[in-house]
Structure 1
Amino acid sequence: MENFTLPGFDLAQFVRATLDEDLGVGLPGGGRDVTADSVIPAEARFTGVMDCRDAIVVAGLPIAVAFFRSLDPAMAIEVLVEEGASVPAGSDLMRLSGNARAMLTAERAALNTVQHLSGIATMTRAYVDAMQGHATLLDTRKTIPGLRHLEKYATRMGGAQNHRMGLWDAAMIKDNHVAVAGSVGEAVRRAIAAGVTSVICEVDRLDQIEPALAAGASHLLLDNMDVATLRQAVEQVAGRVPTEASGGINLNTIGAKAATGVTYVSVGRLTQSAPAADVGLDFTPL
């Protein structure tokens, strides 16, 4: 927990920027917690318990630890559950003991993070369960700006795999790229000619499959196809490349679409629409 890292994510910078925003650093009169500073004695100490009020899949506790430690390096923190664990309502997640002002100032940032990431992980697990062992769930790039690494981490805690992390690690040819290139095949050929080794090509019709494969696509995204069409597409591809069902998929439809034989199912709402988990933090003066 104390050595939490994510490739491409600067935890210390995230903590600083988030707390600076809340404290109004750089703004007239900013740079302090007016309420805690005026009401709580500097030497006061609190003990606290973070718990969940609903059953959740846990994600984000190491980031919460970093918020508290940044304001009180000596704070005693005991993390009680593992990341990715499914816990029932009423579970204690973390115990803390330390400077009261530091706890109060870091509280909102810590809770916001755990609520948001646990909400994503919880929704993700629900989608994984609805797939009943068929296919692999993927997330998308539909993330809040600045939070992609954390949100994609949360989907992993819920049991999904990450789709491409950004615009840099794979080409994804969509309808607008095809419109400029002139055809699916030509768009894929241009990506291959540019030296791109991972080329995901979106197709929304069965007659686009062979041109995409012939040009060198390494992954087909089967966009907005109904269950019957997905089955036909999977049969036509015949295992030559991975296939991915995408577009408008929800908890009511994912089971049937996952069972068509596709390799993956991608769902944007995992990061776009997950409700915050109900997580709270109660303090007691020492």
Structure 2
Amino acid sequence: MPKEYRQVEWDAQLADDCRHLIRLAFREDLDNEQDWSTVSLVAADAQGSANITARASGVLAGTQLIPLIIEEAELELTWTPQKQDGDAISRGDVVGTLSGSVRDLLTSERTILNFICRLTGIATLTRTYVEAATGSARVYDTRKTTPGWRRLEKYAVRCGGGVNHRVGLFAAVMAKDNHLAWSETQRTLADITPQVRQFLTAQLGEAAAAEKLVEIEVDSLEQLEAVLPSQPDIILLDNMPPETLRAAVEMRNRLAPSVELEASGGVNLQTIGAISQTGVERVSVGALTHGAVSLDLGLDWKA
């Protein structure tokens, strides 16, 4: 079974990331003051309930944050979900209900919606790419994420059916074009994988080093032929058209069948179908995160 990057699931580490973002979001809205609009118009003891409702179809993500927002901001609210992250939603669907202090509900409304609209947009776009990848290739995200939101956005990709590429620079070795262009000593492409593995073993020990994936980027079939004998875990094929990708797969199958191939660059909804049918195992798409548009969800008072 091929190695895989660690996938982002909802866990304590992701929840801790979210707590930092939640605190920053409320600091942006309230500073050291308060919601003057709400406190001047709504009685302190007013109670009410409101639904979060989908105003467009998509794939839900981000509702796991709502209890954290309530806890972190010390809101007098309860959250009753009707849909879960990863669920398909249609226009008019009720995602869940917030009940309690009307003041707290109004003050937190935009923060809650900002999180779930953004993440639902990512999950929805990811699902669109996954469905457009009509071949056997898996669809991966990249590190083209909003600073501070990396794990959260990758979680949304998972909700949409995508697969997470490395979560950070610490997670794997990925020798890209700029690494290869800048070198203090002359080395061939065939030298890179053994040098990296030797270094990792010396630094981390054999067991931990074996857990680090080694991926090398190439932009031509000539480079691919030079790298394959050293058998990195993955070779990234940069900006290759489908006919070249098919030739790369044939070469890989002959020379190093255990190496996985990843297509990257020039991938969009019009091209991913053909790319995914070339025989590569992976297609990475930066647009899953940097190109996603928030999906519209709103807050509607219950009668």
Tell me if 1:5 matches 2:19.
no
Q: Which residue of 2 aligns with 1:262?
A: 280
- Which of these residues, 110, 115, 120, is aligned with residue 117 of structure 2? 115
Q: Which residue of 2 aligns with 1:23?
A: 30
**Contact kept in structure 2, 1:218 and 1:241, CA below 8 Å:** yes
State the AA in 1 paired with 2:241.
D
**Aligned-residue RMSD, C-alpha:** 1.8
Tell me if 1:246 matches 2:264.
yes
Q: CA deviation at 1:50?
A: 0.3
Tell me if 1:277 matches 2:295.
yes
Q: Which moved more, 1:268-277 or 1:37-46?
A: 37-46
Q: Which residue of 2 aligns with 1:199?
A: 214
Q: Which residue of 1 aligns with 2:41?
A: 39
Q: How does 1:178-189 map to 2 (within 5 A)?
A: 178-181=180-183, 182=186, 183-189=188-194
TM-score by length of structure 2 reads 0.86
After superposition, the Cα gap between the structure-2 partners of 1:9 and 1:168, relative to the gap in structure 1 and judged at 3 Å, is farther
Q: How does 1:20-99 map to 2 (within 5 A)?
A: 20-24=27-31, 30-71=32-73, 74-99=76-101
After superposition, the Cα gap between the structure-2 partners of 1:170 and 1:9, relative to the gap in structure 1 and judged at 3 Å, is farther
Unpaired runs of 5+ residues, structure 1, are 25-29
Q: Which residue of 1 aligns with 2:21?
A: 14
Q: CA deviation at 1:209?
A: 1.4
Secondary structure of the 2:259 match is coil
Q: Give CA-to-partner distance per residue, 1:175-206, whole Å, 9 cap, x none.
A: 11111235433443432221154211011100
Q: How does 1:219-234 map to 2 (within 5 A)?
A: 219-234=234-249
Q: Which residue of 2 aligns with 1:27?
A: none
Percent of counterpart pairs with the same letter?
40
Secondary structure of the 1:168 match is helix
After superposition, the Cα gap between the structure-2 partners of 1:206 and 1:6, relative to the gap in structure 1 and judged at 3 Å, is farther
> How many residues of Structure 1 are paired with residues of Structure 2 in the alignment?
277
Measure the CA separation in 2 of the matches of 1:142 and 1:88.
28
State the AA in 2 paired with 1:95.
T
**Contact kept in structure 2, 1:138 and 1:265, CA below 8 Å:** yes
After superposition, the Cα gap between the structure-2 partners of 1:71 and 1:283, relative to the gap in structure 1 and judged at 3 Å, is farther
Secondary structure of the 1:265 match is strand
Q: CA deviation at 1:66?
A: 2.2
TM-score by length of structure 1 reads 0.91
**Contact kept in structure 2, 1:192 and 1:216, CA below 8 Å:** no
Q: Which moved more, 1:162-171 or 1:233-242?
A: 233-242
Measure the CA separation in 1 of the matches of 2:106 and 2:264.
43
**Contact kept in structure 2, 1:170 and 1:199, CA below 8 Å:** yes
Secondary structure of the 2:64 match is helix
Measure the CA separation in 2 of the matches of 1:185 and 1:107.
55
Q: Which moved more, 1:261-270 or 1:211-220?
A: 211-220
- Which of these residues, 155, 158, 161, is aligned with residue 156 of structure 1? 158
Q: Give CA-to-partner distance per residue, 1:211-235, whole Å, 9 cap, x none.
A: 2233342100011000000000011
**Contact kept in structure 1, 2:76 and 2:104, CA below 8 Å:** no
Measure the CA separation in 1 of the matches of 2:141 and 2:264.
10
Q: Give CA-to-partner distance per residue, 1:88-122, whole Å, 9 cap, x none.
A: 11111011110011111111111000000000000
Q: Give CA-to-partner distance per residue, 1:222-281, whole Å, 9 cap, x none.
A: 110000000000111112211111002000000000000000110000000101101111
Tell me if 1:212 matches 2:230.
no
Q: Which moved more, 1:86-95 or 1:74-83?
A: 74-83
**Contact kept in structure 2, 1:155 and 1:161, CA below 8 Å:** yes
Structure 1 runs of 4+ aligned residues shifted over 6 Å read: none
Q: CA deviation at 1:72?
A: 5.0
Measure the CA separation in 2 of the matches of 1:8 and 1:70.
14
